[in-house]
Amino acid sequence: AKKNKGNNICFYSEKIAQQHYRNKDIENHLIEAIEQGELFTAFQPIVSVQPGKPVHFEALARWKSKSLGNIRPDEFIPIAESTPLINSITQVMTRNTKLLLELSKHRRQPIGSISINVSARQLTCKNFGQTFLQWLDEQNIDSQHICLELTETQAIENYQQCLDQFMFLRSQGIKISLDDFGSGFASTNHLLDLPFDIIKLDKQLIRCIDKNTRGQALVAGTIEMAHRLNMTVIAEGMENFEERQTVIDLGCDYLQGFLIAKPLSLGAAASFSQCGPSQ
């Protein structure tokens, strides 16, 4: 048994070392990837529970690397988040958002807003708000079209700074949503200080919600609180009809998930309508 234990330790430290090199490799390649346009954006529809309302979209980063293959955002985003590269990714997302707005100009029904993910850490940088607004300006994007989805992957270090940026962005007409609510990191106490426009119920919470009565109580309570605070609620990660019916019955406002549509290419997003991917 003792011998086994030793082997395990050895195995784990080797794993940690491998992980370290993989992360370094990704970080180094990411710099070039951004310059050479290897990053692109998938757009996932967010639809109202009421028919006939404009479709919104969430912009999701994708990376097809020539040397490393397809890398999932769950892998490269946390690495980018610990460096200034995360801001370059946000800038790429902003440019691609412009492309979707342009392509969607002549739709029968105009699209709603497009959500861009930012980590809370980006907001602790004191000129993030100004910089982001400048990117919108360069692309000639009306701030009314933009929503920022705030994810907290680490505890916020400089809370006051974050609060200032938040209030500034909101004063410029940008909507802000609290992402991943009901998962580990998105905590309720932010709701006391930060006037979010939207709460996104995390996909872990929505999974099998039709069979989870405790989850239903949590979702019902969250929706009640959100509406009292004039916030809109989006349920993400909807995969089947039972889950959809349950969150609709509980009073949710918007739906997102594979049941509605997977994240789409630029062209497919521009022609998406609620009845199907093409009109």
Residues of this chain that bind ligand C2E (CB under 6 A): 44, 60-61, 72-74, 77, 86, 89, 93, 117-119, 149, 151, 179-180, 203, 236-239, 257-258, 263
- H helix and E strand count, the chain: 11, 9
Closest separation in Å from C-beta 170 to Ca ion: 18
Q: Using the minimum distance from each CB to ligand C2E, give the nearer residue, 13 or 211.
A: 211
Cα 78 to Cα 30: distance, rounded to the nearest angstrom: 12
Closest separation in Å from C-beta 13 to Ca ion: 29
With b for 16 or more beta-carbon neighbours within 10 A and e for fewer, the 150-179 pattern comes to bbbeeebeeeeebbbbbebbbeeebbbbbb
Q: Of Ca ion, ligand C2E, none, which one sits near residue 222, judging by CB under 5 to 8 A according to partner kind?
A: none
Cα 250 to Cα 247: distance, rounded to the nearest angstrom: 5
* 117 near Ca ion, judged by CB under 5 A: yes
Q: Of ligand C2E, Ca ion, none, which one sits near residue 15, judging by CB under 5 to 8 A according to partner kind?
A: none
* 243 near Ca ion, judged by CB under 5 A: no
Q: Of Ca ion, ligand C2E, none, which one sits near residue 61, judging by CB under 5 to 8 A according to partner kind?
A: ligand C2E
Q: Using the minimum distance from each CB to ligand C2E, give the nearer residue, 97 or 104.
A: 97
- Give the dihedral of Cα atoms 69, 135, 124, 59; nearest 10 deg: -40
Q: Of Ca ion, ligand C2E, none, which one sits near residue 73, judging by CB under 5 to 8 A according to partner kind?
A: ligand C2E
Closest separation in Å from C-beta 184 to Ca ion: 10
Closest separation in Å from C-beta 31 to ligand C2E: 16
Q: Using the minimum distance from each CB to ligand C2E, give the nearer residue, 111 or 152.
A: 152
In 104-198, which ranges are continuous DSSP H helix?
A: 120-123, 128-138, 159-171, 190-193
With b for 16 or more beta-carbon neighbours within 10 A and e for fewer, the 186-220 pattern comes to beeebbeebebbbbbbbbebbbebbebeebbebbe
Cα 114 to Cα 43: distance, rounded to the nearest angstrom: 9
* 179 near Ca ion, judged by CB under 5 A: yes
Q: Of ligand C2E, Ca ion, none, which one sits near residue 54, judging by CB under 5 to 8 A according to partner kind?
A: none
